[in-house]
Amino acid sequence: AIDIRQLYQNHGLLTFDPGFKSTASCKSSITYIDGDQGILRYRGYPIEELGRTCSFTEVTHLLIYGELPDSAGLTSFNHTIHEHNLLHEQVISFYRGFRRDAHPMAVMVGVVGALSAFYQDLQDYSQPDQQMKAAIRLFAKMPTIAAASYTYSIGRPARYPDNRLDYASNLLQMMFGKPNEAYEVDPVIAKALDLILILHADHEQNASTSTVRMAASSGANPFACIASGIATLWGPAHGGANEAVLNMLEEIGSIENIPNAIRRAKDRNDPFRLMGFGHRVYKNHDPRSAIIRDMTKSVLKHLNMEDDPLLAIALELERVALSDAYFIEKKLYPNVDFYSGILLSAMGFPRRMFTALFAVARTSGWVSHWLELKNDTTHGIDRPRQLYVGSSLRHVERR
Ligand code: ACO
């Protein structure tokens, strides 16, 4: 890589890279991606191995601290999460200011941003213990915040976290448990959710993580930084894609309509795109996609939903697209979101919660990047330049 700062300082040279297609914005030791080989590793461990052998809590420990926990370390990490997973009653009343039909992501942007007003004891973020406390608070509270945004939307009182349960099971009981009723966690569903959380935990400098880092580079409050990440994640080109995939599969409606969908996706004059296809970095395959596809098949089998018509359309769409010259030439493959919507839907999650779950998972990565940036003394405020293409000098003329 060329250190462009030297060229700028000595020769005034600027690079023009709209959308940062070929610009590394920072150094990071958290996640490694090789888009040509379809490789994804967290702190050196292949995603496939982590998905097979670890829990989301262990993976978050890995992302935050750089190492997987031993058994005592995991107990202590869980204990810290349990200490911080409740919401202040005043935060619960804060929800009441939102329209009840608001999108959960709109509510989450607001609630997470507002946490900065609730934690005024944490003000010196140059101190490692305060940094860690903010990171843990965010990670621990996010399932409670996401579940409350759902229960509020359906008019049901929010349930408290149950510290006898693991992170994913706890999220399930807060989402789906009825007030004053025991909620029986289906271990297959809990395992699937845990895997989804692992697969979405981090993905280096994606749009939302870059936003978090850019906000953090100004020294902004961590709760506000994560709120900016949630806002960015919401877009259909990013975390909103799995919701958009289901809408698209329903719009396609049947296997007979797939050729027409493929034709439309290839037409440059038609805004229709195959949602869940393509990736800025993966130009071979997205390693998360196959893991999710296999999990989707096994969960649907467990739920006796193997005949799900949307799964049939998705499988056929993938097959047809992968043998189509346009998709081959442009290196467009199913990404992590192509099957995750079908899976989440079968697990009982309403469509509007899909991106909220993604936000819960990605909080793990966001706080790790926030911590990394806070401890990088060489990284100043992010301040991209631009190519000005507006009017040349002109003067006000009063008529
Ligand atoms: N369907 C049809 N054509 C596509 C698609 C698609 N899904 N994705 C890209 N293309 C085409 C583009 O039209 C473009 O064609 P051109 O060369 O004729 O101009 C070419 O492939 C390159 O696409 P870009 O948009 O330049 O690629 P970029 O890296 O900017 O975009 C993105 C990546 C946003 C993911 C894109 O592929 C897309 O919109 N996919 C659908 C949305 C989606 O699934 N997003 C989730 C991403 S993963 C995540 O955030 C978790």
Q: Which of 277, 281, 283 to mutate to test the pocket of ligand 1 (most atoms within 8 A of CB)?
A: 277
**What pLDDT is stored for residue 55 in this prediction?**
98
Q: Which of 291, 329, 335 to mutate to test the pocket of ligand 1 (most atoms within 8 A of CB)?
A: 335
**What pLDDT is stored for residue 11 in this prediction?**
86
C-beta contacts of 64-68 below 8 A and 24+ residues apart: 64/135, 64/139, 64/364, 64/367, 64/368, 64/371, 66/29, 67/43
Say how many Å lie between the CA of residue 34 and the centre of ligand 1.
Answer: 18
Say how many Å lie between the CA of residue 274 and the centre of ligand 1.
Answer: 8
Say how many Å lie between the CA of residue 328 and the centre of ligand 1.
Answer: 13
Say how many Å lie between the CA of residue 289 and the centre of ligand 1.
Answer: 16
Which residue is it, tokens 């906000």?
215
Residue 167: Cβ within 10 Å count: 24
Residue nearest to atom 29 of ligand 1 (CA): 280
* Closest alpha carbon to 368 in 65, 49, 11, 9: 65
Task: Read off the DSSP letter of residue 157.
Answer: P
Q: Answer yes or no: is the C-beta of 237 below 6 A from any ligand 1 atom.
A: yes
Query: For residues 12 and 74, what is the distance between their CA atoms, to the nearest angstrom?
Result: 51
Residues shown for the chain: 399
Residue nearest to atom 4 of ligand 1 (CA): 273
Say how many Å lie between the CA of residue 258 and the centre of ligand 1.
Answer: 19
Q: Answer yes or no: is the C-beta of 335 below 6 A from any ligand 1 atom.
A: yes
> In the chain, how long is the greatest CA-to-CA distance?
78
**3 state SS of 64:** helix
Concatenated DSSP letters for 231-253? HHHTSTTTTTHHHHHHHHHHHH-
Query: For residues 79 and 70, what is the distance between their CA atoms, to the nearest angstrom?
Result: 14
What residues of the chain score a pLDDT lower than 70?
121-122
355: which residues sit within 8 A by CB, 6+ positions away?
A: 104, 105, 233, 234, 239, 240, 242, 243
**What pLDDT is stored for residue 122 in this prediction?**
57
Q: Answer yes or no: is the C-beta of 265 below 6 A from any ligand 1 atom.
A: yes
**What pLDDT is stored for residue 75 in this prediction?**
98
Say how many Å lie between the CA of residue 236 and the centre of ligand 1.
Answer: 11
Q: Answer yes or no: is the C-beta of 336 below 6 A from any ligand 1 atom.
A: yes
* Closest alpha carbon to 337 in 275, 255, 267: 275
Retrieve residue 305's tokens.
Answer: 């939903």
**What pLDDT is stored for residue 179 in this prediction?**
85
**3 state SS of 42:** strand
Residue nearest to atom 26 of ligand 1 (CA): 280
148: which residues sit within 8 A by CB, 6+ positions away?
A: 87, 92, 95, 111, 158, 174
Q: Answer yes or no: is the C-beta of 238 below 6 A from any ligand 1 atom.
A: yes
Q: Answer yes or no: is the C-beta of 275 below 6 A from any ligand 1 atom.
A: yes
Phi, psi of 266 (to 5 degrees): -90, -15
**What pLDDT is stored for residue 5 in this prediction?**
79
Residue nearest to atom 50 of ligand 1 (CA): 238
**What pLDDT is stored for residue 121 in this prediction?**
61
Give yes or no for a contact between 127 and 110, defined as CB atoms under 8 angstroms apart.
no
Tens digit of pLDDT for each residue in 259-284?
A: 999 999 999 999 999 999 999 899 88
Q: Report the catalytic residues.
A: 279, 337
| Alpha-helical runs (H) found in the chain | 4-11, 47-53, 56-65, 71-84, 89-95, 104-118, 128-153, 167-176, 187-199, 207-217, 222-233, 241-252, 258-266, 287-302, 309-322, 325-329, 337-346, 354-374
Q: Answer yes or no: is the C-beta of 279 below 6 A from any ligand 1 atom.
A: yes
- Return the ligand 1 atom nearest residue 276 CA: 44
- The three-point CA angle 160-140-144 to 5° equals 35
* Closest alpha carbon to 275 in 283, 285, 264, 291: 264
ipTM of the predicted assembly exceeds 0.90: yes
Classify residue 74 by burial, with Cβ atoms within 10 Å: 0-12, 13-18, 19+.
middle
